[in-house]
């Protein structure tokens, strides 16, 4: 099976390990990617908060390229890119005036709607059962708090994906991989997202609440499906320790890294060694045995 | 669109309706959005009250508010609204109009971040983190911020020295040119 791939900018930089682990896991499950050629940034937060036409045109350039490449569906593993692509396509295709304007900017005609999938929808398409079938390594000592963040499940009126307040589709994948999941309160709370540079205080406050709630509910790992969430929750823990003395380090894995471990890949191979907060399954299991 | 008669001049509320495809009068002020907003306590005016200001025609007060700039765009409000009013989208439009009308933005750092981010996209077609951080620091003079995580990320190969350029940069420059505000 071949699926269209929109990596998004983080995948080529600060979240390189997300791209590495995603490609390895997908290949192991028998699927390959057809990357959108010469894709551009989706516009991200900065475009849609300052200029709605720019935001629509940047996102739709990628949809246009997907159409020209003959793709029917694409996966956008970054929850923020996913949200921008889904929303921009919906608005452009349902608002005739906007469509005319976007077509003029891109100098093209947009004919086809492309199915844009988030990371979880990708695994649902590949076949969830393939995860359990290909599992070779036992990760039963992982107790995961599955964190969807805000944009993976929103806006539900357009995405029609899972439950916007109490989603459970990620738990299903994590359990199929052999890990345990916990019930907790901050699954869809915001990490502060794009405020990471300009208002780090807000990001530290919101992200710490998420980590604390995960720990309080018995989790030993946070699992995410968004590079922005990962950077706020993992990389920002160093600043968090300074702002909140007593904060204890907590590992944050991409869903693809957790799946990769269950499929028999090693931490280094998956890029987990690039994280700010170290994670090693053997150490986690040993700690658990010692308690 | 608002139900204006032929004497009615084009208002900020009309601009918002055009940019967001929804009428601001949909909101009946239940306040559910503000109750669930994760950044409410950083804001000067509760999100539902910014809507109220627009409904009542206090446009300047709404456009000057810090609230839209602090909104993280998480869409919790839009997801929960009983009237299906997309408040996150409304906040986008208020920010955009504040810029269009030349209102003074109190949260200059947030605006400078967005400008620096978009400048990388305009130049390279994709985000370029070192360029973004450097430009943001120069614009804000927060030169020492994040010196703790930068070197570590660099060593781990997460910060690229050379930007990932896409080929057809002209098409991206054209998008910026054609959508630029007059």
Q: pLDDT tens, A8-45?
A: 988 887 888 999 999 999 999 999 999 999 999 998 88
Report the residue from A9, A154, A194 with minimal CB separation from B126.
Answer: A9
Instruction: Name the residue with higher pLDDT: A283 or B165.
Output: A283
Assess whether B168 and B120 both reside in one domain. Answer: yes
Model pLDDT, residue A23 = 97
- Whether residue B143 lies inside any domain: the answer is yes
Q: Are B33 and B48 in contact (CB under 8 A)?
A: yes
Q: What is the mean pLDDT of residues A115-127?
A: 96
Model pLDDT, residue A57 = 95
Assess whether B85 and B19 both reside in one domain. Answer: yes
- Whether residue B1 lies inside any domain: the answer is no
- The reply to whether B1 touches chain A by the CB within 8 Å rule is no
Q: Are A117 and A76 in contact (CB under 8 A)?
A: yes
Contacts with B, A 128-147, CB within 8 Å? none
Number of domains in chain B: 2
At a CB cut-off of 8 Å and minimum separation 6, what does A140 contact?
Answer: A178, A179, A180
* Structural domain that includes position B22: 12-100
pLDDT at residue B168 is higher than 50: yes
The per-residue pLDDT of chain A, averaged, comes to: 94
- Whether residue B149 lies inside any domain: the answer is yes
Question: By CA distance, what is B125's nearest residue in A?
Answer: A40
Q: Which domains does chain A have, with CATH numbers?
A: 2-119 (1.20.1050.140), 131-290 (3.40.50.11810)
Pick the last residue of a domain from B70, B100, B130: B100
This complex has an ipTM of 0.91
CA-closest candidate to residue A195, choices B114, B54, B138: B114
Assess whether B93 and B136 both reside in one domain. Answer: no
- Whether residue B164 lies inside any domain: the answer is yes
- Whether residue B158 lies inside any domain: the answer is yes
Pick the last residue of a domain from B83, B100, B117: B100
Sign of CA dihedral A73, A74, A75, A76: negative
Contacts with A, B 65-94, CB within 8 Å? 70, 72-76, 78-79, 84, 86, 91-93
pLDDT at residue B110 is higher than 90: no
- Whether residue B54 lies inside any domain: the answer is yes
Q: Are A75 and A6 in contact (CB under 8 A)?
A: yes
Contacts with B, A 231-290, CB within 8 Å? 235-236, 238-239, 273-274, 276
- The reply to whether A45 touches chain B by the CB within 8 Å rule is yes
Report the residue from B92, B160, B174 with minimal CB separation from A49.
Answer: B92
Assess whether B20 and B93 both reside in one domain. Answer: yes
Taking an 8 Å cut-off on Cβ atoms, the answer to whether A12 and B126 are in contact is yes
CA-closest candidate to residue A55, choices A23, A19, A92: A92
pLDDT at residue A266 is higher than 90: yes
Taking an 8 Å cut-off on Cβ atoms, the answer to whether A106 and B175 are in contact is yes
User: Rounded to the nearest 5°, which phi and psi values hold at A154?
Assistant: -125, 155
Model pLDDT, residue B5 = 52
pLDDT at residue A4 is higher than 70: yes
Residue bearing tokens 């530290």: A204
- Whether residue B5 lies inside any domain: the answer is no
Q: How far apart are the first and last CA of chain A?
A: 44
Model pLDDT, residue A261 = 98
Two tokens, residue A201: 């205080």
At a CB cut-off of 8 Å and minimum separation 6, what does A245 contact?
Answer: none
pLDDT band at A155 (very low <50, low <70, confident <90, very high): confident
Model pLDDT, residue B146 = 67
Q: Are A39 and A59 in contact (CB under 8 A)?
A: no
Model pLDDT, residue A263 = 98
pLDDT band at B1 (very low <50, low <70, confident <90, very high): very low
Outline where A177-226 has alpha helix (H): 200-216
Pick the last residue of a domain from B100, B135, B158: B100
pLDDT band at B158 (very low <50, low <70, confident <90, very high): low
Assess whether B38 and B91 both reside in one domain. Answer: yes
Least trusted range by pLDDT, from A175-189, B9-23, B44-58, B147-161:
B147-161
- Whether residue B2 lies inside any domain: the answer is no
């Amino acid at each position: 099976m071949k699926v269209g791939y929109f990596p998004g900018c983080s995948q080529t930089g600060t979240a390189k390990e997300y791209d590495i682990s995603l490609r390895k896991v997908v290949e192991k499950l028998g699927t390959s990617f057809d990357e959108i050629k010469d894709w551009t940034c989706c516009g991200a937060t900065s475009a849609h908060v300052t200029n709605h036409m720019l935001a629509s045109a940047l996102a739709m350039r990628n949809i246009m390229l997907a159409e020209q490449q003959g793709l029917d569906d694409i996966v956008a593993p970054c929850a923020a890119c996913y949200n921008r692509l889904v929303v921009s396509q919906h608005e452009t295709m349902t608002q005739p005036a906007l469509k005319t304007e976007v077509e003029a900017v891109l100098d093209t005609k947009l004919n086809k709607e492309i199915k844009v999938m988030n990371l979880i929808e990708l695994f649902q398409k590949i076949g969830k059962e393939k995860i359990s079938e290909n599992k070779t390594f036992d990760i039963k000592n992982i107790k995961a708090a599955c964190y969807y963040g805000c944009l993976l499940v929103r806006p539900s009126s357009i995405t029609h994906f899972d439950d916007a307040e109490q989603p459970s589709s990620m738990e299903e994948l994590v359990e199929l991989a052999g890990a345990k999941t916990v019930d907790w309160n901050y699954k869809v709370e915001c990490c502060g997202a794009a405020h990471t540079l300009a208002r780090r205080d807000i990001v530290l406050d919101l992200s710490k609440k998420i980590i604390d709630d995960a720990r309080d509910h018995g989790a030993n790992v946070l699992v995410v499906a968004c590079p922005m969430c990962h950077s706020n929750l993992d990389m920002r823990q160093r600043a968090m320790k300074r702002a909140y003395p007593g904060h204890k380090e907590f590992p944050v894995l991409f869903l693809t890294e957790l799946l990769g471990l269950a499929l028999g890949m090693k931490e280094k191979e998956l890029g987990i060694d690039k994280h700010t907060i170290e994670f090693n399954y053997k150490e986690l299991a040993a700690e658990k045995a010692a308690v | 669109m608002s139900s204006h008669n032929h004497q009615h001049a084009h208002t900020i509320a009309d601009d918002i309706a055009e940019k967001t495809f929804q009428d601001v009068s949909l909101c009946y002020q239940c306040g559910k959005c503000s109750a669930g907003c994760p950044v409410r306590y950083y804001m000067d005016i509760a999100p539902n009250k910014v809507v109220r200001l627009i409904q009542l025609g206090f446009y300047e007060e709404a456009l000057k508010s810090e609230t839209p700039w602090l909104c993280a765009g998480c869409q919790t409000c839009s997801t929960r609204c009983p009237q299906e009013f997309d408040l996150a989208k409304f906040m986008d439009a208020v920010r955009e109009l504040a810029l269009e009308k030349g209102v003074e933005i109190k949260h200059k750092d947030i605006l400078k971040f967005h400008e620096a981010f978009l400048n990388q996209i305009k130049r390279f077609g994709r985000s370029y983190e070192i360029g973004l951080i450097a430009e943001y620091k120069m614009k804000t003079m927060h030169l020492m911020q994040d010196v703790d995580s930068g070197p570590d990320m660099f060593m781990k190969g997460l910060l690229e020295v050379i930007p990932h350029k896409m080929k057809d940069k002209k098409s991206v420059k054209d998008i910026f040119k054609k959508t630029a505000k007059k």
